[in-house]
Each structure stands twice: as C-alpha cells, then as structure tokens.
C-alpha cells in the first residue's frame, strides 16, 4: 500500500513537517510513500502536483494523508493517481460522502444533533432554517467545518429565535470563512456536553470527545480528540457506532463521538479518513498498524 503525503511548500522533495511523524510510522509499518504538491493540485496543475509519484507496476492501493481537498480537487487527484496505477482507498463519491456533512446525515440522524442546511445564502433561507429550532441554542458551520475557535462571534447562537443575533453570527461566520466556504451553511442544535476545560488559546469550551477511525467499515483505532483536559481514562462503548459504521458508504472515515452531560454518547460528525487529522496525543505507530 502507498501512503501519499503532502510535500513541503519550501522543498517539494521534503514532506510537509506536520506529517513527518506519520511518514516515519508508515515506513516502520511496511508502507511505501510518495509526495504530492498540495499547492499545485489546488491551483489546478494536477500533472505537476504528482510529478514525483513513481508509477506502480501493478494496481496498488493508496491512502492520501494530507490537507483537505474539495471534492473536485480530490477527484482530480484520484484520476491522476489511477493513471499511475495507484487507486486511492475512497472513490470521489465515497470521499464526498463523509467530507460533506449532509451526505451521510440520513445514516447518523438518530445519533447526532438535529441539523438542517442550505446552499442558498440569504436572510430568508437562513431564518427559515433557524426557525425550526424554536428557542434552542444552535451552532453554525459549513458543509465541512466551523469557526469554533471564534466561538462567541461566529459559531454559537444562544437562541435560534433571536433573528438579529442569528444574522450577526452568520455574517461574521461568512466574513471569516470568506472564499473557503464549503458548499453551504449547516445549522445544528447545540448539545450540553461533558465539560473538560477551556481551550488555552481561544477559550472555547472543550468537551469529552473522541476521534474514531474506521477502515473497511470496521473499527481501526480511537484517540482522545483534545490534548487538553482530563479524560480520566474513559472511552465510549462503541457497539452502536460500530454497527452504524457498516452502513457508511466509505472505506476509510472518521466518526467524532462526544459525551453529553446526561451520559449519552452522540456522533458529532463524520469525516474522510484521509484528510482527518490525528490529535497530537495519537500513537502514529498504532494508527498505521491498524491500516494493514
């Protein structure tokens, strides 16, 4: 199996420093590796982005470990690598299925906060969606990510019925995310989760969450989501989530799980496993060993 990493923006023959530890563990666990240029790929120079990838003599499975890509950028990478006889673990459809939140919502709906979304970004569409939450607290994100480190001004809305505050937070969210907006806006009911600590920099409240990786729809490994706060050695019972994982249309994905104050475990979101980061506390040897 080939692991495809992003190169350094300063030297395309060197790996992006963020992934150096992962590369060492990948090699240690018997994987071959190649580098691509994320910058060239996202600029549309697909052939140039994979110029250092050595073609495989026979069909070889590949896993991309790098920065996020839009579905169209991922499709470009997928097809370009196919021409070098390397087939990424997830097809473009499978990538989108976990990368864009709405795509798999129907599968996890009973185990995740109430959510709705729109690609139409105007006050009328936004207020129609937020009215469905009555007076509940909600958060805003796009189809991929939130501005959670700008919690008060661009993520959290204490009352969905407060239309002026809704418009203010949405406006600030759109200002901060700019041209990086992924597809549309998602509103989600805010859930009271078990508190860990306040983030040391952003002061965002951190809660008891875990990042769970699934490979070929089976549990691969689980890590504490945050590096701050005391988890007390607790881990969730994953039986229900492992059953749900068999219904997800993806070969490699993450499921972020959190504990509510009442003790219930819920799914926060899914993500494509190739662009889901490992927490700083993660054992990278364990991670790559689980993908053999």
Domains in the chain, ordered, with CATH? 2-89 (no CATH), 114-189 (3.30.1490), 192-291 (3.30.470.20)
| pLDDT tens digits for range 80-128 | 999 999 999 999 999 999 999 999 999 999 999 999 999 999 999 999 9
Structure tokens at 92: 């473009």
pTM of the complete model: 0.95
CA-CA distance, 45 to 77, in Å (whole number)? 10
pLDDT category at 184 given cuts 50, 70, 90 is very high
Asked whether the predicted pLDDT for residue 198 surpasses 90, the reply is: no
> In a 10 Å sphere around its CB, with 0-12 CB exposed, 13-18 middle and 19+ buried, how is residue 147 labelled?
buried
Asked whether the predicted pLDDT for residue 281 surpasses 90, the reply is: no
pLDDT category at 47 given cuts 50, 70, 90 is very high
What is the per-residue burial (b if ≥16 Cβ within 10 Å, else e) of 163-186?
eeebeebbebbbeebeeebbbbbb
CA-CA distance, 289 to 291, in Å (whole number)? 5
What is the per-residue burial (b if ≥16 Cβ within 10 Å, else e) of 80-106?
bbeebebbbbbbbebbbbbbbbebbbe
Of the ranges 49-53, 196-200, 202-206, which one carries the lowest mean pLDDT score? Answer: 202-206
Average pLDDT of span 197-215: 90
* Cβ–Cβ under 8 Å, residues 249 and 271: no
pLDDT category at 43 given cuts 50, 70, 90 is very high
Average pLDDT value for the chain: 97
Order of strands, sheet of 32-36, starting from the edge strand that comes earlier in the sequence? 32-36, 2-6, 60-65, 86-88
CA-CA distance, 264 to 281, in Å (whole number)? 24
Average pLDDT of span 4-14: 95
**Which residue is it, tokens 């937020």?**
130
Least Cα distance to 2 among 52, 62, 65, 82 occurs for 62
So what's the pLDDT on residue 200? Answer: 81
Entry field: residues in the chain: 292
Secondary structure of 134-164 as H, E, C letters: CCCCEEEEECCCECHHHHHHHCEECCCCCHH
Tell me the percentage of the chain whose pLDDT exceeds 90: 93
Asked whether the predicted pLDDT for residue 199 surpasses 90, the reply is: no
pLDDT category at 203 given cuts 50, 70, 90 is confident
Would strands 156-157 and 185-189 be described as parallel, antiparallel, or unpaired? unpaired
């Amino acid at each position: 199996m080939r692991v495809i990493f992003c190169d350094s923006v300063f030297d395309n023959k060197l790996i992006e420093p963020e992934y150096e530890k992962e590369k060492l563990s990948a090699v240690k666990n018997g994987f071959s590796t190649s580098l691509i240029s994320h910058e060239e790929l996202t600029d549309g120079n697909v052939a140039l982005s994979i110029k250092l990838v050595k073609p495989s003599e026979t069909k070889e499975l590949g896993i991309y470990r790098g920065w996020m890509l839009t579905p169209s950028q991922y499709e470009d990478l997928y097809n370009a690598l196919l021409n070098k006889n390397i087939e990424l673990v997830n097809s473009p459809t499978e990538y989108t299925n976990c990368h864009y939140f709405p795509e798999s919502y129907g599968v996890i709906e009973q185990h995740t906060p109430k959510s709705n979304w729109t690609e139409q970004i105007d006050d009328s569409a936004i207020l129609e969606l937020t009215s469905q939450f009555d007076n509940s607290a909600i958060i805003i994100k796009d189809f991929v990510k939130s501005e959670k480190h700008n919690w008060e001004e661009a993520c959290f809305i204490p009352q969905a019925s407060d239309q002026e505050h809704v418009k203010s937070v949405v406006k600030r969210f759109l200002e901060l995310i700019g041209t990086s907006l992924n597809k549309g806006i998602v509103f989600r009911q805010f859930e009271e989760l078990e508190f860990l600590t306040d983030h040391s920099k952003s002061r965002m409240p951190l809660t008891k969450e875990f990042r769970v990786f699934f490979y070929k729809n089976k549990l691969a490994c689980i890590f504490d989501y945050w590096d701050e706060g005391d988890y007390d050695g607790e881990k969730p019972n994953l039986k229900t989530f492992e059953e749900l994982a068999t219904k997800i249309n993806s070969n490699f994905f993450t499921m972020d799980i959190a504990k509510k104050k009442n003790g219930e475990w819920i799914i926060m979101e899914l993500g494509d496993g190739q662009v889901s980061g490992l927490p700083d506390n993660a054992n990278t040897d364990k991670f790559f060993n689980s993908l053999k």
